[in-house]
Structure formats: structure tokens, C-alpha cells
Structure 1
């Protein structure tokens, strides 16, 4: 990047997050509570309601699967919400509006359990509407939250801030699962609605208290606002598209999160079919994986806290290490599929979770770093584009894993070979993601700066 461009970038950053508005550690913890609130509501719709539809309502498993896919698909609108938070005067307003919608639509989704008893058509219609609104709520709130973190957190704290907020989200999921699990006994559809509504109300209250006063001056405004009106949505999106670094990172997010999510729906069946684990044991195995994810995130956060100022590109190194570790452990799972049940599966899954957690939270930290490099103050738009890529990959990943497993079983006639093929596919995706991650940062340095829609090269091409 040229010296003039660097100077412009530094001036822009200071205008977006000037003295007195940068987040301290307490502020970061407060925003972590917002992420925990998001996780608390989402876990009820993605896990608890999923089980109720299959077991208590006797619906085909594809029904809740497609509904969850709907809310991921709707999050393709994240760039819109990110742009609104860039130009709307306050990011906290969009955080709270999104959370309120998420809480209400989560309650509506649980209320459809009563409708299914009378009419499957009515139940499916209302469930579809509810999950669409869930996707909108997650997109508006989550994108604005990440943009606020990115623009208000000092660069040296961003990797650790990402770790803190995601670890708190996991804790929110764990705590919610325990408390609601107790509150739902004895189960009834009405009790599910009451528990979901109460969870949404408590989560919103916690989030509202957490963001209260976090923007201690009028909200971050676009850089060009001083000399003209805020950028239009199309102009802001075009800047991201013409930024080669942002495009490359979008590709990385899509590939790596596809690899990450493809295993979601097949790990427990893998443990049950090849290792003879009971449902309780396979659930514990899932808990072992999440413990590994938690540990991997903690290592990234600690590394960022201790070495963030002294080791340039530390997040990128963690991304590469996490992707390579994920590829290696998945490749070894192919071997485990051939020798099952004679394999130390639990520690293996812990290591897989550790590598997954390391790359995932380091990617969020890198996302926060890159979000502030736009020349038009469009951190929300950038977060929206990357969030949309992640959501689409998550929605498609579980479906891809299930289809690949069924096709593998049909072709090979063997469960072990079929699982091995899927894990091998995931390993290849992680290796490809590693190759993309290696290029992040390198191309920008070689080209001498970031390409934007306003650069002479693009204007000439147009």
C-alpha cells in the first residue's frame, strides 16, 4: 500500500474510532453478553425445536432441516443490514431491533407446535414465516454487532475480542441448554412456548443493558459523510467487490465454513454406526468436540493478548494452523472408519474441535481487521458480505454431508467407506481453504494497495 494510501487509511480509522470511543476490555465483555444472548435464542430453534418436531410431532427429519436451512438462506441479506448500520446513525439500534425480532420469531416458531396438531399445512406455513424472520433477526443483530466490534476495538485487541465474544456465545448456549432443559420438564407444547418466550425476553434485556451507552458519542458515520451524503448500497457493495483482498477472504470464508459444517450432521451417526455408541454416548462425544472448540478459541485469544503487538499476521498464522490441523484430523478419521471400533475416537474428536475452534475464531479476528480497511467507512457492509458467505455455507454444509454420505453408501455398500469419503472431501476442502488463506494479505502487499471502485484502473476498465 502506498504511503499516501496508508495515511488515508489511518486517518479514516481514527475518524471512525477516535479517542474516547475505543472499546476497553469491560466493553468487549459487555458485547460478548450480546453474542451470548443471540446464542441462547438460536439454540432453542436449532436444537430443541428440531428435536420436538422429529420426536414429539413425528415429522420427517427433512422438515426441521429445511426450516433451519431457510433461516441460513435468508441471511444472504446480511450486506443490506450491514449497510443500514453503516448509514443509520447507530449500530446498537440495529443490534436491539434484530434481537427483538429474533426473540419474537423464536417464540412464534415454538408456537407452531400447537398448529401442527391441527393442520400440518398451517403449521408449516407459520413455521416457514417464523424461520424467515429468525434469519432476518440474526442477520440484522449479528452483522451490526460484529461491525461495532470491528470499528471500535483497537487493532491489537481484535483477535482476543473475537475469542471472548465467541466463547461467551458458547457459554450462553451451554447455560441456556441446561436451564431450559430443566424448565421444560414435564414437557408440553405450551411449556415450550412459555420457556422460549421467557428466554427471548431475558436475552433481550441482557443485551439492552449490555449495549446501553456503548456508543458514547453519535454513532460511527461513513468517512465520506463529512464531504457528501452516505454511500449508496450499490456503491458500498461495489467497493467490496473490487477489493481483491475482500473477495479473496469471502472465498476463504465460503470454503472453510463449508468444510467446517459438512461434519455437523454425520459425526454422531458415525459414532453410532461404526463405534456402537448409544445416543447418550454420541451426545457426550459432541460435547467433547465443543470442549475442543472452546480450548482452540482460548489459545487464539491468549496468543492474541500476549503476542498481538509483537507478531504481525498472528491471526493469519492461526487460521493456517487451524485449517491444516482440521484437514489432518479429518484425514485420520478416514483411517478410523476402516479400523472402527478400535480407535481412540473421543480424544480424536477433541483435537478436531480444537483445530476447528482455532481457525474459526482467528477467521473472525481477521474479518474484524479487514472490515475497517474500506475507504468509505463500510465495515457493516463488509461484515454483511462475509456473514452471508458463512450463512450460505452453513446452510449448505449439513445438506452436502448428508447427501454425500447417502451417495457413498449407495456406491460402496459400506458405511465405513462412505464416511471415509465424506471426511476425505472435508479434508480436501480444508486444504484448499489453507491455500486461499496463505494468499490473504500477500496479494495486497504485492499490488501496492487496495483496489476500489474509485481507482483509475477500474474507472478505465469501465
Structure 2
């Protein structure tokens, strides 16, 4: 089957934009509405968001289903419709939550369950399709393009929804949410329509020989692959370190550097802009430095993790130094390094998944589930770590220093895992030469 051209990759990027747009609505806008407009406990939306990550443990099931059917498109469309339905249910639950109705809690839980399932089905199948149909030399660029388009979808949706939702009312929220999810589903369906083509006959690799196994044997087969197992652990550790900083960077800037809310928000903008810069560098410029080969992607991945660890060590030092530390430059370095490792890791993920013909979906599903667990735990562990550190030491700088040091250590371990296949390949080449 002919690999996807740039137009096909852009079309799949539009699907990622649509997913990001709906997820932003469900996890960001609804969070603010529950806490600010309806004075609900902040733990409620936080718990619902954590639950939607927990539901994404189903990703291997969705990926395995698309493997067995040899088709990704129906699963992507099914996931988008499920995601849209869950978001609308969550919106409609807010009115009942405001009056503390038990049906509101039940409806919100069902809505966020569908949101998690929809993200898992659509996102896993989309990544499996990219892994299957994108040529190896274009994987880093495809990862950069699709993730950049996802962020663009979030930004555009946030701007449009923010402009239309004022003056706020529940009915206006329902109208805006309905418009966003309808537009996102239509864009995704149009973008993915006929881009996959007809399924080609699959000649199984030795590791995937025989008829398609059921889910349990397929999962065991995948886990028996040492490279795939190490990559799963790498995804968990790197994404755990990546997400631990999410909820503490702005409080860090406010508590130790006296940043105002507006200044800390701008600092977050600097970080995200730097993430995009790192993604673009690897995706479109990394080929000049070996970023198109599997070995090159591993080096970029490890380099991004090491640079992230270094930036976090800088923040730990900044926690001790106080206002004299160049915080903005440090945060920009952290964002840039995060962007480098994230896109390189996604490119490597596509390559490792495509090496097992007919098993791309379950591999992407396992790695997606590992990422979901890490994201669900990371933000909570970072915030809890600060609270526990302050309680034990009585020192805010000590608490932040400890958490940043732990994040840095996790990134160093992840870098070692990323380099291990490269080290083994080098040893094998030396042995053959001898």
C-alpha cells in the first residue's frame, strides 16, 4: 500500500485537532464552569478528569479491535462520536450538579467515561493508522505536524468558545458545546474519509505469525517483545516526569518569585510556545542531524529527556536562589526540551509499532494506556509532593527542590531506557565487525 503523502498526513492531523478541541472543552472549560460559576468543589472536576484517564486503560482493547478488522477508520469515527456524546452528557450534568442532585453525579461520571473511551478509541486508532501508512523518513515530521495541529485546535477552540460563551448561562454553554462537538466530528469524518484506502493483505511477521489472536494472547505476545516492553516503561516514566510539573509551575512562580496571576499565565504561554519550537525542530529540522532514522530518533528522544532533566535541576537551584534566578529562560528551556523528546518519542513509537505488521493497534494502545496512567498520576503526585514536602520540612523552597529533583531523576532514567536499544545495536555491530 502506498505511503501517505503530506496531504494525507495533514488530513489525519485535522482529526487530532478535532480530538484536542473537544478534550479542551471537556477538561478545561467545564472545569472552570464547575468551580467558578457553580461553586462546586475543585476536587469534583479534578476527579472526573482523573477518571477519564483511568478509562483510557481500555486503549489496548480499541487498538486490538482495529488490528483484527484491518481497518482504522471506523474506530476513529466511532471514537469521535463517543467523545462528542460524552462531552454533551457532561455539559448537561452541570445543571443537576448545581442543585446537588445524585443524577448529576451519575450523568457526569457517564459523560467522562464516554470521553475517556472516545479519546482511547479515536486516538489509538489514529496513531496506529499513522504508524501503518507513514513512510519511516516522514514519521518525525508527521508526529510534529499532527501534534502541532492538535495544539492549534485547542487554541482556536479556546478562543472561539471563550468569545461566544459570554455572557455566561447554562443554555449558552450547551449551544457552544453543541456547536464545537458537531463541527469537530464533521471535520474528523471529512478528514479521515477514504484516506486509509482499502485494507491490504497482511503477511504476518514471525513475531506475529498465525491467525489473529484474541486480546489476551495478543497482549502477552506484545509484552514478550523486550524492545516494546522497555518502551512501555519509558513512556510511563517520561510522561510521569512530564506531567508532574503541570500543576506546580505557576504556584512555584507565584510563591517563590512573586509573579502575579497574569505574569504566571504568561509564563505558561512561554513554556507552551517553547514546546512547539522543540516539536518543530525535531519534526522538520531533525532530519539534518539524523532524526529520520530509528537510531537518530532514539538519540533525539534521550537528548530531550536529558535536557529536560537539566532544566528541572535548574528549577531546583532556582527554588533555592529566589528572584535572582532567570526563571523565564529556565521555563523556556524546559518547554523546548519537552517538545524535543515528545515528538522524537512519538516518531520512535510509530517505527516500533510498524515493525509488528498487523499488531500496530495493540502496541499503540498499550503505550497510550501507559501514558494515560502517567498523566493521571503525575499532576496529582506533583501537587501532593509539594504539600507533603511543606508539611515535613516547613520550607516551600525545600518542597519544590525535592519534587523537581525527583522529576529530573525520572527523566534521566527514561533517557537510559531510550538509549538502551541503541547501545545494544552498537554492540551487535561491533561483534559482527570482530
TM-score by length of 1: 0.89
| Residue correspondence of structure 1 range 312-323 to structure 2 within 5 A | 313-323=295-305
Task: Determine helix, strand or coil for the equivalent of 2:355.
Answer: coil
Q: Which residue of 1 aligns with 2:184?
A: 203
Q: Which residue of 2 aligns with 1:257?
A: 239
| Residue correspondence of structure 1 range 33-432 to structure 2 within 5 A | 33-218=14-199, 223=204, 229-306=211-288, 313-374=295-356, 377-432=358-413
Task: Determine helix, strand or coil for the equivalent of 1:135.
Answer: helix
Q: Is the deviation greater in 24-33 or in 208-217?
A: 208-217
- Shift of residue 285 of structure 1? 1.1
> Residues of 1 paired with 2:354 and 2:407: CA distance?
31
> Residues of 2 paired with 1:193 and 1:162: CA distance?
33
- Shift of residue 380 of structure 1? 0.2
- Shift of residue 229 of structure 1? 3.9
For the 8 Å contact 2:136–2:292, the answer to whether it is kept is: no
TM-score by length of 2: 0.94
CA offsets, 1:354-379, max 9 Å, x none? 000110111111000000122x5100
Alignment partner of 1:29 out of 7, 10, 31: 10
> Residues of 2 paired with 1:220 and 1:30: CA distance?
24
> Residues of 2 paired with 1:239 and 1:230: CA distance?
11
> Residues of 2 paired with 1:304 and 1:160: CA distance?
9
CA offsets, 1:116-161, max 9 Å, x none? 1222432222111111111000000000000000011111111111
CA offsets, 1:366-396, max 9 Å, x none? 000000122x510000000100000000000
Task: Determine helix, strand or coil for the equivalent of 1:119.
Answer: coil
- Shift of residue 234 of structure 1? 1.9
- Shift of residue 222 of structure 1? 7.1
> Residues of 2 paired with 1:387 and 1:441: CA distance?
23
For the 8 Å contact 2:91–2:177, the answer to whether it is kept is: yes
Distance 1:141 1:219, change over 3 A: farther
> Residues of 2 paired with 1:78 and 1:138: CA distance?
9
> Residues of 1 paired with 2:119 and 2:252: CA distance?
31
> Residues of 2 paired with 1:234 and 1:379: CA distance?
16
> Residues of 2 paired with 1:102 and 1:155: CA distance?
30
Tell me the C-alpha RMSD between the 2 structures.
2.0
Q: Is the deviation greater in 256-265 or in 411-420?
A: 411-420
Task: Determine helix, strand or coil for the equivalent of 2:199.
Answer: coil
CA offsets, 1:63-89, max 9 Å, x none? 111111101011111000000111124
For the 8 Å contact 1:86–1:220, the answer to whether it is kept is: no
For the 8 Å contact 2:79–2:121, the answer to whether it is kept is: yes
Structure 1: segments with no counterpart, 5+ residues: 1-17, 449-462
